[in-house]
């Protein structure tokens, strides 16, 4: 099931909220959420519900064993078993075909390539299970004794299929003790409307431009290639941050407080800052669980850094362009680390902005082209090789026809809402006016998005495939 479908917005969610409100006590409410979460996940892939339940049972059981054998070999063995199980499960479903293809190419073999359908959300809920197991081993969280409560944590439908990657520690107490105030409902509904608007009114429309530019990279002009990659970056941002907004808003309606996953990443002045603002739940996961992994028996500063970025690239997909994409960002983050924060700040702000945006745009180009031949063509086009055109006629037409959309998209990357909230804190009258305006804008976004979704073909969130 997809958030950006009229069925979810006007049938599934209202029914879920009504049944949830009618349930008495936290145990009944949790049961309602588990049932609706399983229905939500099974809507398109009923067979894979069993896989998720298996993952939940194995990791729940491992958590109990860690608690039982605390400080002994059994603790380490249970932790290792669970992590290996999780990684292998993700590897089989996501990377087995990629591995076999490359083994065949490297050793001139003809091993049959498995074509295994990727379960939606497996990359996200697998990382949640891993974070839970490691935190139990490190004694950062208490082991969950109830399988029902653990299943709620893992299967909670707002964040199940495309994140953010919610740590158990974030909602540990709220699983058994939470309340929903009127302010939570207002915040949740406003956040859902904002996310839906990002997806339907911006991301879906920007995708058309991307298809017209990067989709025909062999005939693209120099500026056309840069333009297409930049618009693709905007598309991914509004698509994924829109999903995160909806997930955070839905969580708030049920009393859960999820961490932010995006903080206006395009206002960054360098690549390190960009990744402190982009897909925060993923970058902090690798920072906390991978960065300090010993390499050849020692913790290595730059070795750990490149391991993080290698894993970041691989996590996004079974394709060499994602590996290259991860290492590409690793190089720039490493360079900025070598230069140092103080010397980076001495560089004029304008130059830092130009540098960071150029690196980011090229990065989105690498992310887009999964076929290495097309990626090579993209690299040639952005430096003017293979084309004599600085900008093509079709690029001019596309740019002119979508000028208002592009301007709106760029404006929406800035922290405008944060600025308005700061102004509203100055007085009660200002706060009331901002609240009324927010409600009005949210209603308008919901109405416009609903109109756009009528008779629309299915356009799932991009991160469903990761």
Same domain, 152 and 239: no
DSSP for 98-132, written as a single string: HHHHHHHHHHT--PPPP-PPPPTTHHHHHHHHHHH
- Residue-wise pLDDT for 399-448, tens only, equals 999 999 999 999 999 998 888 877 777 777 778 888 888 899 999 999 99
- Residue-wise pLDDT for 372-383, tens only, equals 999 999 999 999
Residues 6+ apart with CB under 8 A from 414: 264, 267
Is residue 136 in a domain?
A: yes
What total number of domains does the chain contain? 2
428's tokens: 């009660």
Same domain, 187 and 129: no
Count the Cβ atoms, other than its own, within 10 Å of residue 426.
9
Q: Is it the case that residue 261 has pLDDT exceeding 80?
A: yes
Choose between 144 and 391: higher pLDDT.
144
Residues 6+ apart with CB under 8 A from 28: none
| Residue 137 annotated as catalytic | no
Task: Give the pLDDT score at 464.
Answer: 66
Choose between 417 and 245: higher pLDDT.
245
Given a contact cutoff of 8 angstroms between Cβ atoms, the answer to whether 288 and 140 are in contact is no
Average pLDDT for 140-147: 95
Active-site annotation holder among 115, 264, 316, 353: 316
Q: Is it the case that residue 13 has pLDDT exceeding 90?
A: yes
Task: Give the pLDDT score at 465.
Answer: 65
Same domain, 116 and 240: no
Domain hosting 270: range is: 183-465
Phi, psi of 167 (to 5 degrees): -75, 145
Is residue 1 in a domain?
A: no
CA 383 to each of CA 131, 220, 267, 321, 362: distance values in angstroms, whole numbers, following the listed order: 42, 12, 25, 19, 11
Confidence label for 370 from pLDDT (cuts 50, 70 and 90)? very high
Task: Give the pLDDT score at 303.
Answer: 86
Q: Is it the case that residue 299 has pLDDT exceeding 80?
A: no
Same domain, 173 and 197: no
Q: Which of 125, 149, 178 is the last residue of a domain?
A: 178
């Amino acid at each position: 099931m997809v958030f950006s479908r009229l069925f979810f917005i006007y049938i599934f969610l209202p029914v879920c909220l009504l049944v949830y409100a009618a349930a008495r006590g936290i145990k009944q409410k949790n049961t309602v959420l588990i049932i609706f979460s399983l229905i939500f996940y099974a809507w398109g892939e009923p067979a894979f519900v069993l896989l998720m339940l298996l993952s939940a049972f194995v990791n729940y059981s491992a958590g109990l064993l860690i608690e039982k054998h605390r400080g002994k070999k059994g603790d380490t063995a249970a932790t290792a078993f669970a992590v290996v199980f999780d990684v292998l499960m993700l590897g089989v479903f996501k990377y087995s075909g990629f591995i076999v293809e490359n083994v065949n190419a490297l050793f001139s073999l003809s091993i049959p390539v498995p074509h295994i359908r990727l379960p939606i959300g497996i990359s996200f809920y697998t990382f949640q299970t891993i974070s839970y197991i490691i935190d139990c081993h490190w004694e950062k969280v208490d082991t969950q004794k109830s399988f029902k409560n653990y299943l709620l944590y893992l299967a909670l439908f707002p964040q199940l299929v495309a994140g953010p990657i919610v740590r158990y520690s974030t909602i540990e107490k709220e699983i058994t003790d939470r309340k929903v105030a009127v302010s939570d409902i207002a915040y949740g509904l406003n956040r859902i409307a904002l996310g839906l608007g990002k997806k339907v009114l911006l991301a879906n429309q920007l995708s058309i431009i991307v298809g017209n530019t990067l989709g025909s990279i062999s005939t693209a002009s120099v500026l056309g290639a840069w333009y297409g990659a930049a618009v693709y970056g905007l598309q991914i941002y509004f698509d994924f941050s829109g999903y995160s907004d909806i997930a955070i808003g839905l969580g708030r309606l049920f009393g859960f407080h999820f961490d932010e996953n995006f903080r206006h990443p395009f206002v960054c002045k360098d690549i390190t800052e960009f990744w402190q603002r982009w897909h925060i739940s993923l970058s902090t996961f690798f920072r906390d669980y991978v960065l300090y992994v010993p390499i050849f028996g020692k913790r290595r500063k730059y070795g750990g850094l490149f391991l993080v970025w290698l894993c970041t690239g691989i996590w996004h997909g079974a394709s060499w362009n994602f590996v290259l994409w991860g290492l590409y960002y690793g190089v720039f983050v490493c360079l900025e680390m070598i230069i140092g924060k103080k010397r980076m700040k001495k560089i004029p702000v304008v130059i830092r902005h130009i540098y960071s945006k150029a690196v980011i745009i090229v990065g989105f180009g690498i992310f887009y082209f999964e076929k290495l031949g097309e990626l090579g063509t993209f690299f040639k086009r952005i430096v003017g090789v293979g084309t004599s055109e600085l900008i093509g006629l079709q690029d001019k037409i596309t740019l002119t026809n979508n000028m208002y959309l592009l301007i709106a998209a760029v404006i929406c990357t800035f922290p405008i809402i944060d600025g308005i909230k700061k102004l509203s804190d100055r007085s009660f009258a200002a706060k009331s006016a901002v609240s009324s305006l927010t409600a009005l804008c949210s209603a308008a976004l919901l109405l416009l998005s609903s109109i756009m979704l009528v008779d629309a073909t299915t356009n799932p969130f991009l991160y469903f495939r990761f």
